[in-house]
Amino acid sequence: MRKTLIAGNWKMNKNIGEAISLVKELKKLVEDVDDREIVVCPPSISLAAVSAELKGSSIQLGAQNMHFEKQGAFTGEISPLMLKEIGTKYVILGHSERRQIFNEDDELINKKIKSALENNLTPILCVGETLNEREVDKTREIVGEQLNKGLNGIKNKDMKNIVVAYEPIWAIGTGKTATPEQAEEVHSFIRNLLKSMFDSKTAEDIIILYGGSVKPNNAKDLVSKDNIDGALVGGASLDAKDFAEIIKC
């Protein structure tokens, strides 16, 4: 059985004080939730403060990005060891904003995935197509390529520690959500592709999240689909009540 995972990607929002207030409120709202894995991914500057605030809570900490090297002359970057030291468990890698705005390609993302695994962080590998790619019927080709390249060289045993997130780019921050049927179609394609890349049991156990305008009013319909094992939530994770509602959906 796959455990439902709900992760909040705060992107470049909330200063340290606001981040602490948000997790304080969230902790209270989800105190009684024990059947879901909850993750918050604040901006890196707030990770340490949020980590301290999460002590003793079951909410896990995630980062939004990292460099693949452990240390060195990489101005402005943050290493997996630094994330680990402050109690980070997950790291989002290959988010479409990193791919599109910061030109991250599949090869770089693959290096980051391997480095995250080596350093005992669980990568959340994001894949997804643009509106144009969907319209010309290239969704499977694009998502397939991102998975093949992003997971190149990853062994079966390591797949237990990887989460995949399907995030159609046209649905991110636009208020346009994929319908549960549209999302499930791609999720089941992803599951089948993973079965061709890894052993069947391993592929069955991989958590595949949906992301793209997940809100309290659509989360349940999405997450109740067979191959949708949770959500990666942007905008709605900035409000503790909305995020808690999604968690409890």
Could you say which of 128, 211, 216, 230 contacts ligand PGA (CB under 6 A)? 211
Distance CA 68, CA 200 (A): 29
Distance CA 171, CA 183 (A): 11
Distance CA 22, CA 27 (A): 9
Asked whether 142 and 170 are in contact (CB, 8 A), the reply is no
> Is 95 among the catalytic positions?
yes
Q: Which two tokens stand for residue 114?
A: 């391997």
Could you say which of 212, 229, 230, 244 contacts ligand PGA (CB under 6 A)? 212
**9-28 positions binding ligand PGA, by CB under 6 A:** 9
Could you say which of 37, 129, 167, 184 contacts ligand PGA (CB under 6 A)? 167
Could you say which of 51, 60, 110, 213 contacts ligand PGA (CB under 6 A)? 213
> Is 167 among the catalytic positions?
yes
Binding of residue 230 to ligand PGA (CB under 6 A): no
Residue closer to ligand PGA by CB (options 17, 173) is: 173
Q: Which residues, including other chains, have CB under 8 Å from residue 223's CB and lie 6 or more apart? A: 4, 210, 229, 230, 231, 249
Residue 104 gets the label, from left (phi > 0), alpha (psi -120 to 50) or beta, of beta
Residue closer to ligand PGA by CB (options 6, 159) is: 6
Q: How far is the CB of 106 from ligand PGA (least distance, A)?
A: 18
Task: Tell me which of 95, 97, 104, 187 is the catalytic residue.
Answer: 95
For strand 90-93 and strand 208-211, is the pairing parallel, antiparallel, or unpaired? unpaired
Q: How far is the CB of 150 from ligand PGA (least distance, A)?
A: 16
Task: Tell me which of 37, 133, 167, 184 is the catalytic residue.
Answer: 167
Binding of residue 232 to ligand PGA (CB under 6 A): yes
Q: How many CA atoms lie within 13 A of 218 on its CB side?
A: 20
**170-209 positions binding ligand PGA, by CB under 6 A:** 172-173
Q: If you write DSSP's letter for every residue of 3-16 in order, what string do you get?
A: PEEEEEE--S---H
Question: Which stretches of the chain bind ligand PGA, using CB under 6 A?
Answer: 9, 167, 172-173, 211-214, 232-236
